Each structure stands twice: as C-alpha cells, then as structure tokens.
Amino acid sequence: MDNLINCNRCGSDACYVQEVNESIKNYMCYGCGFISNTLYKKGEELFEQMSETLPELYKTLMGEEEDTGMIWVPSYVNVPDKGMVFANGPNHENWKWAAVKSTSIKEEEKEKFKKKDGTYFENKMDMSTMKEFVERDYMDALEYIGVL
C-alpha cells in the first residue's frame, strides 16, 4: 500500500509512505526532504549500520519521534543522468539542500571515470552548477536537477 500522509516531522502533506510488508514502512517527505523507516530506531540493526556511514552533518540533523521512536534522516538523491541533492553545510544550525546537475563525461577525460568492471561512467556531477535551497524548498531542489 502506498499513501500520502502528513509528515510527523514537519507537518507537510507531501509525505509518501510505502508499505514494504505488514511490519515495515518507508517514509519519504517531499516537504522537508527527510526519510524514515519503521526500522530507523535506536538499537535496530539497520539503523545502527546506516548511522556508521552517515556524514556528521546528517547525524546532527537526525531527529527522533517522541511517540514512535522512529528517527528521521536527511535524504540523499543521486540520479546519474540528472544530478544529486544532499544536505550541505558546516553544522545543523547552518545548512541547506544542495542540488548539483549531472553532465556528460567528455571523451578526453573518460579514463578518469573507469569502473572496476572496465566500463566507463557516462556522467559526472558538475559542482559548478551547485545551487542551495532552504529545507522546505526540497521539491525545488529536485526540480532543479530535473527529477520532478
């Protein structure tokens, strides 16, 4: 069952819920850009493993729901032929969504973008196109890279 609900984190009416099975649901809020899952709770193996690899900014931006114990984390979107959107900034008080467009890799720089299997990446992220968006403009960031 897929459904739109009001986000428990920000109150937006653009929180998409995807039921994986009877006990697991994924949450993606397009209002604030944060994600959660019924397994994103302190002590849950999935959450603990994910936390180990998160950048420090993402760890400081995490927030726990009082009622459910679910933890909300900033999302990270990477669409190779479009671009990426990620939380960016020096700390939890001074951050924004960063959106970067993808560009085709030129033939002369192809060797720099070789995969382990011997093939080549076709696109790279062009950091010169980076544009910042405030938290509640997450959908604008996705639109900027052409996802919406």
Look at residues 109, 119, 138 and name the one whose alpha carbon lies nearest to residue 35.
Answer: 138
Domain ranges of the chain: 2-74, 77-144
Tokens 């950091």 -> residue: 127
Give the per-residue pLDDT at 94: 97
What stretches in the chain show pLDDT beneath 70? 1-2
User: H/E element holding 62?
Assistant: none
pLDDT for 77: 97
Could you report the per-residue pLDDT of 107-135, keeping only the tens digit for each? 999 999 989 999 999 999 999 999 999 99
Per-residue pLDDT at 144: 98
| pLDDT confidence of residue 1 | 55
DSSP string, 53-95: HS-HHHHHH-EE-TTT--EEEE--EEETTTEEEEEEEEETTEE
- The pTM of this model reads 0.90
